Structure 1
Amino acid sequence: MLLMGIYLLASLAAVVLYRIDKAAARQDRRRIRESMLHLVAVMGGWPGALLARRWFRHKTRKQPFGNILWGCVAVNTGLVAWLVMADGAAGLRQLAGLE
């Protein structure tokens, strides 16, 4: 349950950050760093990041950005899979409310 909450909050944060960054890009204002957008994605906000990227048509032409975003998806899902399956992660599973 905790894990779903983290994904939901991180995805919401990603959508908000993408919206702010898109507005800043249109108005030629200071932008949000790409590293911050990727950090939110790798921390579990990748579903929101993928949706926001499509909804706002933001950073869709920047291929290195897209590749790194998909790398964040892979890292996050790999870590969650390890957390769920690895014997050594029993304490972390308990902490995350997965047991």
Structure 2
Amino acid sequence: MALKQVLLSVLLVWNLLVLCAYGLDKHKAIRHRQRISEKTLLLQTLLLGGLGASLGGVVFRHKIKKWYFKLCWLLGLIIDCIMLYLILTKLSD
């Protein structure tokens, strides 16, 4: 498997995990259980999880009223796009 495929796979899996983290936190919020900290969710977003976090916010309607989450989702999406660009254009097959 080429390096490009590995990096794209890792990026996809990470974003799926971040999406699941948002879903799990929403589930815990509904059940009044111990939550995932906002700091952790924001850090996951900025560490190449922008797509998963943005989808998690929309799909689970979670953290959508907090401006700093919206800002981090936007920054995370920009970071993800830059990483995708670098992977797809700078790495040879």
TM-score category by the smaller chain?
A: 0.7 to 0.9
Partner of 1:2: 6
**Are residues 10 and 22 of structure 1, via their aligned partners in 2, closer, same or farther at CA, if it must alter by over 3 Å?**
same
Deviation, 1:36, is 1.6
Deviation, 1:76, is 4.1
TM-score (norm 1): 0.70
**Are residues 15 and 84 of structure 1, via their aligned partners in 2, closer, same or farther at CA, if it must alter by over 3 Å?**
closer
SS of the counterpart of 2:29? helix
**Are residues 54 and 32 of structure 1, via their aligned partners in 2, closer, same or farther at CA, if it must alter by over 3 Å?**
same
Distance 2:88 2:28 in 1: 39
Partner of 1:40: 44
Partner of 2:61: 57
Deviation, 1:53, is 1.0
RMSD (CA atoms) = 2.2
Q: Which runs of 5+ in 1 are unaligned?
A: 86-92
- The answer to whether the 8 Å contact 1:13/1:40 transfers is no
Q: Which runs of 5+ in 2 are unaligned?
A: none
Letter in structure 1 aligned against 2:63: K
Partner of 2:31: 27
Among all aligned residue pairs of Structure 1 and Structure 2, give the percentage whose two residues are the same amino acid. Answer: 27
Flag the structure with larger Rg: 1
User: Once the two structures are superposed, what CA deviation does each residue of 1:12-70 show, in whole Å capped at 9, x if it has no partner?
Assistant: 11111011100111122211112222222223222121111111101111112211221
Give aligned pairs, total. 88
